[in-house]
């Protein structure tokens, strides 16, 4: 945290200076009020208006300092939070695929939002606490100078306020957590009753769900009351302790005045000091309660930042040579995590410009082969060469720009269709975007969208069908103009009748590019010059489609099974707009 504060010395200094000014003004004001009473009301030593003017002047000065102190503290805290978030996000971006495979988006979002917010709250409190501490010390000094006895009576009860605030904060935390848990169980119960409403209605199980929701609701009540009991200890103490101080001042101070040691103004000043200290003490308690949470939050952030990216440029990384890019897998072995190897001594050579279809059963490792080429993961053993150079010795950004990969699960951004296609090269002319869309068989449907190429996609925009999304993703890869094109089951959701239309265009895209196609449908496989069959982490058959059909029993088996699951996909995609019981598609209902 100290490192994070260092670049902001200017505002730290302004904040501390303003805090000092504020503390001075706060300590002065009760003394001025006391002086007004003793010198101008009780006696007439000075004209009343002089003290009043000085008092108002001190008020103005105090106001200026308060404003400046507050602004500096928050500006600093938000600056730190914003910078740390940027640092966190930039770091997350550099982390390797394997990290993101296990990290949950929700968790990372929580790091970037609530954890950083916790840190922010502590940073805000630091300068305020420094100023408040200065003020408290000054108040004690002033009171001791006026009368040590009065100081004792006025302030003796107050430390309990800070202790109570810290205790309250500490005790509320587990209750709050447990309340949050009960609330989330409750909302889970509500949610499943609604998403499963057909089961609930179909079996008349409403009462079962009501019992479950009532149960959680009672749990919420119980924990809320537990929280209220804690509040019921703490909140009245905020009124009680100062009141004890004021009573003590009245009694002790009053007798001192009777004995001629003090003046009435001193009683007023001591009263004002007590009232003044309530908030700083509460805040100090709050800070004490807040610190462990902030530490825990910054530890979580630190964990993320301490994870080193595993896929980085080698110290003397080379540029990719121009010209064709042949691919060579040399005895490649790879497994995810500590599990069994997915690829086991794989050897494969793809000459520049050739299109190879990679076929294999589910989980045979086809996608893994595809993901090793752009170094989403690094091989455990063996090596992968592109243009004769080990991919690990190339500059990562250049390597990836030279490869266009289309994943099976297409991710599109909440941007226009045009921006999604021009993702690799945002400055690409419209003509290039249009051409890429045409080659991916997407131009026609894009023109039919409400805003054509400017249609906004995603969450708040237009929703495309699975096949349309895949075609936009293919266009995105086409526009990148890669040397190596990888289509990982990239047309699986495209309607078979439409796939036929884009096949010719795809053939044009693939010309002069080294292409790896992962596919199940014979029609797609037919796009390739050559087919390799992957089984048990190695290539077990290699040749043309017809060769393999004739020679490999395993190939026929894999194709037959793929056909079956392709039939399922068709059934599923027709079910998307089918006349189902569960998601009835009668248009009157959906509108």
Hey, which residues between 363 and 392 contact other proteins (CB under 8 A)? 374, 376
Whole-number Å distance between alpha carbons of 442 and 452? 11
Q: What's the count of helices (H) and strands (E) in the chain, helices before strands?
A: 23, 10
- Which of 3, 411, 448, 463 is close enough to bind other proteins by CB under 8 A? 411
Whole-number Å distance between alpha carbons of 513 and 324? 8
Q: Which of residues 96-155 bind other proteins (CB under 8 A)?
A: 97, 100, 105, 108-109, 112-113, 117, 121, 124, 128
DSSP label at residue 156: T
Nearest CB to other proteins, comparing residues 254 and 292: 254
Q: Is 260 in the site for other proteins (CB under 8 A)?
A: no
Q: Which of residues 175-214 bind other proteins (CB under 8 A)?
A: 183, 186-210, 213-214
Q: Could you tell me which residues come within 8 angstroms of residue 527 by beta carbon, excluding any fewer than 6 positions away? A: 355, 357, 503, 506, 507, 510, 517, 519
Q: Please, are residues 470 and 410 in contact by the beta-carbon 8 Å criterion?
A: yes
Q: Is 158 in the site for other proteins (CB under 8 A)?
A: no
DSSP label at residue 203: T
Q: Is 485 in the site for other proteins (CB under 8 A)?
A: no
Q: Is 7 in the site for other proteins (CB under 8 A)?
A: no
Q: Per the structure block, which two tokens stand in for 243?
A: 């009141």
Stretch of 135-143, 399-407, 436-444, 493-501 lying at the interface with other proteins (CB under 8 A):
399-407
How many residues of this chain bind other proteins (CB under 8 A)?
Answer: 153
3-state SS assignment for residue 323: coil
Nearest CB to other proteins, comparing residues 320 and 507: 320
Nearest CB to other proteins, comparing residues 164 and 538: 164
As beta bridge partners, residue 201 has: none
Whole-number Å distance between alpha carbons of 203 and 207? 11
Q: Which of residues 426-465 bind other proteins (CB under 8 A)?
A: 426, 458-459
Q: Is 509 in the site for other proteins (CB under 8 A)?
A: no
As beta bridge partners, residue 363 has: none
- Which of 181, 319, 362, 414 is close enough to bind other proteins by CB under 8 A? 414
Least separation in angstroms between residue 389's CB and other proteins is 17
- Which of 17, 55, 163, 549 is close enough to bind other proteins by CB under 8 A? 55
Q: Which of residues 300-359 bind other proteins (CB under 8 A)?
A: none
**How far from 184 is each of 188, 219, 273, 295, 296, CA to CA, in Å?**
6, 11, 45, 25, 22
Sort residue 379 into left (φ over 0), alpha (ψ -120 to 50) or beta: beta
Q: Is 258 in the site for other proteins (CB under 8 A)?
A: yes
Nearest CB to other proteins, comparing residues 214 and 444: 214
Cα 70 to chain centroid distance, Å, stands at: 28
Q: Per the structure block, which two tokens stand in for 265?
A: 């103004």
- Which of 7, 9, 82, 292 is close enough to bind other proteins by CB under 8 A? 82
Q: Per the structure block, which two tokens stand in for 143?
A: 């009171």
Q: Which of residues 540-579 bind other proteins (CB under 8 A)?
A: 563-564, 567-568, 571-572, 574-575, 577-579
Least separation in angstroms between residue 433's CB and other proteins is 15
Least separation in angstroms between residue 409's CB and other proteins is 9
Q: Please, are residues 462 and 455 in contact by the beta-carbon 8 Å criterion?
A: yes
- Which of 264, 291, 352, 549 is close enough to bind other proteins by CB under 8 A? 264
DSSP label at residue 6: G
Least separation in angstroms between residue 412's CB and other proteins is 8
Stretch of 159-167, 247-255, 317-325, 340-348 lying at the interface with other proteins (CB under 8 A):
247-255
Nearest CB to other proteins, comparing residues 399 and 527: 399
Least separation in angstroms between residue 535's CB and other proteins is 19
Q: Is 160 in the site for other proteins (CB under 8 A)?
A: no
Nearest CB to other proteins, comparing residues 50 and 551: 50
3-state SS assignment for residue 556: helix
3-state SS assignment for residue 439: helix
Q: Is 11 in the site for other proteins (CB under 8 A)?
A: no
**How far from 107 is each of 35, 116, 299, 304, 413, CA to CA, in Å?**
59, 13, 14, 11, 21
- Which of 340, 388, 450, 581 is close enough to bind other proteins by CB under 8 A? 581
Whole-number Å distance between alpha carbons of 537 and 345? 7
- Which of 244, 305, 526, 540 is close enough to bind other proteins by CB under 8 A? 244
Stretch of 141-149, 244-252, 440-448, 496-504 lying at the interface with other proteins (CB under 8 A):
244-252
Q: Is 220 in the site for other proteins (CB under 8 A)?
A: yes
Whole-number Å distance between alpha carbons of 569 and 291? 54
Q: How many CB atoms lie within 10 A of CB 470?
A: 29
Q: Is 231 in the site for other proteins (CB under 8 A)?
A: yes
Q: Please, are residues 394 and 373 in contact by the beta-carbon 8 Å criterion?
A: no
Return phi, psi of residue 332, to 5°: -80, 125
Q: Which of residues 14-53 bind other proteins (CB under 8 A)?
A: 29, 33, 36-37, 40-42, 44, 48-49, 51-52
Whole-number Å distance between alpha carbons of 256 and 249? 10
């Amino acid at each position: 945290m100290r490192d994070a504060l260092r670049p902001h010395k200017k505002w730290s200094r302004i904040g501390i200076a303003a805090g000092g000014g504020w503390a001075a003004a706060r300590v002065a004001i009760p003394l001025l009020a006391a002086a007004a009473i003793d010198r101008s009301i009780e006696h007439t030593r000075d004209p009343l208006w002089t003290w009043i003017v000085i008092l108002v002047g001190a008020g103005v000065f105090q106001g200026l300092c308060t404003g400046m102190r507050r602004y500096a503290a928050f500006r600093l805290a938000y600056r730190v939070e914003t910078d740390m978030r940027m640092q966190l996000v930039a770091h997350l971006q550099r982390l390797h695929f394997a990290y993101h495979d296990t990290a949950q988006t929700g968790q990372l979002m929580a790091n970037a939002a609530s954890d950083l917010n916790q840190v922010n709250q502590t940073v805000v409190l630091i300068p305020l606490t420094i100023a408040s501490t200065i003020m408290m010390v000054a108040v004690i000094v002033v009171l001791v100078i006026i009368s040590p006895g009065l100081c004792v009576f006025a302030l003796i009860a107050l430390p309990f306020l800070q202790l109570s605030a810290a205790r309250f904060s500490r005790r509320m935390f587990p209750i709050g957590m447990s309340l949050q848990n009960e609330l989330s169980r409750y909302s889970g119960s509500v949610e499943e009753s609604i998403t499963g409403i057909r089961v609930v209605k179909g079996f008349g199980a409403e009462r079962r769900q009501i019992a479950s929701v009532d149960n959680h609701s009672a749990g919420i009540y119980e924990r809320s009351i537990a929280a209220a009991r804690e509040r019921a200890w703490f909140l009245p103490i905020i009124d009680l302790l100062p009141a004890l101080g004021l009573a003590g001042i009245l009694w002790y101070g009053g007798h001192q005045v009777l004995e001629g040691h003090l003046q009435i103004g001193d009683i007023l000043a001591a009263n004002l000091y007590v009232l003044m200290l309530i908030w700083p003490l509460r805040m100090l308690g709050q800070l004490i309660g807040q610190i462990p949470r902030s530490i825990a939050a910054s530890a979580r952030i630190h964990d993320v930042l301490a994870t080193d990216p595993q896929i980085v440029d080698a110290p003397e990384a080379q540029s990719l040579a121009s010209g064709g890019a042949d691919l060579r897998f040399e005895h490649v072995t790879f497994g995810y995590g500590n599990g069994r190897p997915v690829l086991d001594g794989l050897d494969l050579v793809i000459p520049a410009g050739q299109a190879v279809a990679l076929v294999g059963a589910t989980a045979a490792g086809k996608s893994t082969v595809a993901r090793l080429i752009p170094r989403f993961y690094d091989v455990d053993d063996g090596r992968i060469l592109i243009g004769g150079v080990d991919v690990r010795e190339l500059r990562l950004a250049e390597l990836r720009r030279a490869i266009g990969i289309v994943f099976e699960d297409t991710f599109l951004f909440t941007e226009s269709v045009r921006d999604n296609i021009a993702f690799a090269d945002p400055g690409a002319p419209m003509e290039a975007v249009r051409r890429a869309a045409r080659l991916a068989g997407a131009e026609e449907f894009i023109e039919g969208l409400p805003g054509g190429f400017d249609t906004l996609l995603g969450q708040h925009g237009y929703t495309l069908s699975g096949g349309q999304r895949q075609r936009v993703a293919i266009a995105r890869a086409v526009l990148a103009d890669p040397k190596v094109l990888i289509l990982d089951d990239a047309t699986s959701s495209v309607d078979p009748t439409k796939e036929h239309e884009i096949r010719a265009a795809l053939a044009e895209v693939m010309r002069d590019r080294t292409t790896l196609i992962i596919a199940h449908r014979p029609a797609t496989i037919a796009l390739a010059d050559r087919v390799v069959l992957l089984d048990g982490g190695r290539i077990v058959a290699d040749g043309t489609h017809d060769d393999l059909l004739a020679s490999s029993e395993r190939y026929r088996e894999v194709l037959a099974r793929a056909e079956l699951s392709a039939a399922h996909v068709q059934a599923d995609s027709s079910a998307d707009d089918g006349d189902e019981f569960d998601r009835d598609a009668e248009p009157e209902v959906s509108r």
